[in-house]
Amino acid sequence: MSAPVHGAVRLALESLPDEIVVTDPDIVVAYARDQSRFTDNGVPLAVLMPRTTDEVALCMRLAHECGVAVVPRGAGSGLSGAANASSGAVVLSLHRMTAIKEIDVVNRIAVVEPGVVTGDLRSRAAESGLFYPPDPGSVDFSTIGGNVSTNAGGMCCVKYGVTGDFVLGLEVVLADGRVMRTGRRTVKGVAGYDLTSLMVGSEGTLGVITEITVKLLPAPRQAQTLVASFPSLAGAGSAVGDISSSGSTPSMLEILDRTTVQAVNALSKMGIGDDVDALLLVQSDDVDALEVLSKIESICTDNGATDVAVSSDPTEAAMLLEARRLALPALEQLGDWLLDDVAVPCSAITDLIASVESIAAEYGLTIGVFGHAGDGNLHPTVIYDENDPSSRTAALAAFNAITERALELGGTITGEHGVGRLKSSWLEVELDDVAIAAQRAVKVALDPAGILNPCAVLAGGSGTRR
């Protein structure tokens, strides 16, 4: 049930338009958390569902006056706990702000509201012969606002980059209700500090994003696809390293380990052989795509690939991409799961994969590995039994061991899912004391009362490292 609302907070909620305030306990509880595991949450006082920037500003102004914490929320598809509510807070859901305001073909930009589903923007851009590259695994249901808030990546990152590489400007409501515009619509622009980049990846802790201007690219050529099967995970990892140093830049370079491949095969009935220990999925949309893939085919063969196939058939390519997108849903069929998100230099991928295998053996757990091999961002997924305390403890220990190993290899605790609550205690391990102090100073400057998502990112000590 939602907590009782008293005094100034009740009056503040009553002063908002009735249509945007939800206090029904059955609805409120559905907005209490995202899809993360091992993260805490409380039940919010209410869920606010504004439809315009003005309504967002009004919500924030009243929350600021009452000293009520606000947790911004997109589709709730996050995996780090950044959208988890706190007791006594209100959730500010932006799912009603779904307008694609503009597709400017001449200047190759789009202006959208935060509740626009990423896949819908990609489709609208394609109708105009343009391309919005970021494609997280949740592309069909995650929203642009959430993608910006976590600087989400996806399968095209190896060539095109992450969400932040396409954000030109933002409209942001600050903690006290003031509205700020950042960035520009021009190709170039260096006036003042880069507040746009500051907001990207801030996970709702510095402001509420209400409008996003993104750059678009010309539609790419039809991609050519290569799939390579390896009898060993180490061979696949070595192939990734050789591809990265070969001078070739595929538009996609994904990896699935044996556990993930078998899980996907069981779910999709694609007929992948039981002798496959790792699968590389590669695409190129360059003019010389076949030449690029021919070079990559040789690299894979030299690293022990037993089967390499190249196809230009769009239907077959779509089927292979669907297999990759099924990685997490397929692993979910094996039991309860805890998804990690770490990134290492591409030269360290083989070492990370080998470490994950050792960690799985040490803790007696199944750990499926998949991810964006082209940019070193992998998602080891720990399978465990939530109802078994010893299994839960082992899962947490394995998760922390993987995260620690990524740092030892010169990597980062999160490549695209964000810090949220899940890894807030790890942030002070990755960053030095001066960097943490600077980040806290930024937080205080923009949110002096600390009401915006106070338990996420810089909260410290509330994550998995315990």
Domains of the chain, by residue range, sit at 1-220+423-466, 224-408
Q: State if pTM tops 0.75.
A: yes
CATH of domain 224-408: 3.40.462.40
For residue 313, the tally of other CB atoms under 10 A from its CB is: 12
End-to-end CA distance of the chain: 29
Which one, of 445, 383, 364, lies nearest residue 180 by Cα? 445
Question: Distance between CA atoms of 69 and 246, rounded to whole angstroms?
Answer: 50
- If phi > 0 it is left, if psi is from -120 to 50 it is alpha, else beta; for residue 201 that is left
Contacts of 102 (CB under 8 A, 6+ apart): 109, 110, 111
- The pLDDT profile of the chain, 466 residues, written as one tens digit per residue, is 455 666 677 777 888 999 999 999 999 999 999 999 999 999 999 999 999 999 999 999 999 999 999 999 999 999 999 999 999 999 999 999 999 999 999 999 999 999 999 999 999 999 999 999 999 988 899 999 999 999 999 888 899 999 999 999 999 999 999 999 999 999 899 999 999 999 999 999 999 999 999 999 999 998 999 999 999 888 998 899 899 888 888 999 999 999 999 999 889 877 776 788 899 999 999 999 999 999 999 999 999 999 998 987 888 778 777 888 889 999 999 999 999 999 999 888 889 988 999 999 999 999 999 999 999 999 999 999 999 999 999 999 999 999 999 999 999 999 999 999 999 999 999 999 999 999 999 999 999 999 999 999 997 644 566 5
Instruction: Tell me which residue has tokens 């050519």.
Output: 224
Cβ contact 402:359 at 8 Å: yes
Its CATH class, for the domain covering 1-220+423-466, is alpha beta
Q: Rounded to whole angstroms, what are the CA distances from 151 to 56, 191, 414? A: 22, 22, 11
